[in-house]
A and B are shown apart, each in its own frame.
Chain A
């Protein structure tokens, strides 16, 4: 059970290889990677800054992973979330779940990212050609999280 908050990039291949090497009971691996788009709400995005609430962030991610472990029969779960300045195309967040079978891995991976989007204290501020703007939370994210 691992959650990391970091400014640097991550290597999904290396992270998955590490999880596989540590556990031969793994039969399925599901992953999610969120990346920075160059467009949002019809505006050109030149980059973004991700802010978080140090101290709470790690605790919130740990709690989301712990909840996933209670609800789903998974082997391991990993969340890496970047903060700081990011450019279009950059990776923002990684979720990896290992389990014996695929259904559980898919479900737990989706659960973790859905809950992260409404419960983990991160905020995105987009850079546009003519200034900056805070990203507004979407009602569809709340609805996605409430499915679980």
Chain B
């Protein structure tokens, strides 16, 4: 009997900026997620690593997100190949 259940995973680029880049000691990484991933589930997956990721992405920390260079809410769905940026509230001007 053919297997009709196809499980795909998303391969995305995560970018860390400003204070987060320093605190996480990373400018970004390639990350894999389940096909139904959202920004929120990405944050959960990163937080589960513990350490600086858990501290910086903890509930209540002021964090903003952009998917493919557009600011989005946490509920935003993520697609294969997306670039997801995580950063503190902006302070330009």
Taking residues whose C-beta sits less than 8 angstroms from the other chain, chain B's interface range is 10 to 19
B57 sits at the interface (CB 8 A): no
Residues in A with CB closer than 8 Å to B18 are: 51, 123, 125, 134
- Assess A118 versus B90: contact at CB under 8 Å? Given A56-B85, A134-B19: yes
B49 sits at the interface (CB 8 A): no
- Assess A53 versus B91: contact at CB under 8 Å? Given A121-B66, A134-B18: no
Residues in A with CB closer than 8 Å to B87 are: 53, 121, 123
On whether the beta carbons of A56 and B91 are closer than 8 Å, the reply is: no
A93 to B89, CA, bound (A): 18
| Interface SS of chain A | mixed
Chain A: residues with Cβ within 8 Å of the partner, total of: 28
- Assess A120 versus B19: contact at CB under 8 Å? Given A53-B87, A55-B69, A56-B85: no
On whether the beta carbons of A122 and B15 are closer than 8 Å, the reply is: no
Residues in A with CB closer than 8 Å to B19 are: 123, 134
On whether the beta carbons of B88 and A121 are closer than 8 Å, the reply is: no
A124 sits at the interface (CB 8 A): yes
Per-residue interface assignment for chain B, residues 12 to 23, with 1 indicating a CB less than 8 Å from any chain A CB and 0 otherwise: 000101110000
A59 to B68, CA, bound (A): 11
- Assess A92 versus B90: contact at CB under 8 Å? Given A56-B69, A119-B71, A134-B18: no
On whether the beta carbons of B92 and A124 are closer than 8 Å, the reply is: yes
On whether the beta carbons of A134 and B15 are closer than 8 Å, the reply is: no
- Assess A93 versus B92: contact at CB under 8 Å? Given A53-B15, A53-B85: yes
B62 sits at the interface (CB 8 A): yes
Residues in B with CB closer than 8 Å to A53 are: 15, 17, 66, 69, 85, 87
A141 to chain B, nearest CB (A): 8
Interface on A for B, CB 8 Å cutoff? 34, 50-53, 55-56, 59-60, 81, 92-93, 113, 116-125, 134-137, 141
15 A-B pairs within 8 Å (CB atoms) are namely A34-B93, A51-B18, A53-B15, A56-B85, A59-B70, A81-B92, A116-B93, A117-B92, A122-B92, A123-B87, A123-B91, A124-B92, A134-B18, A134-B19, A137-B91
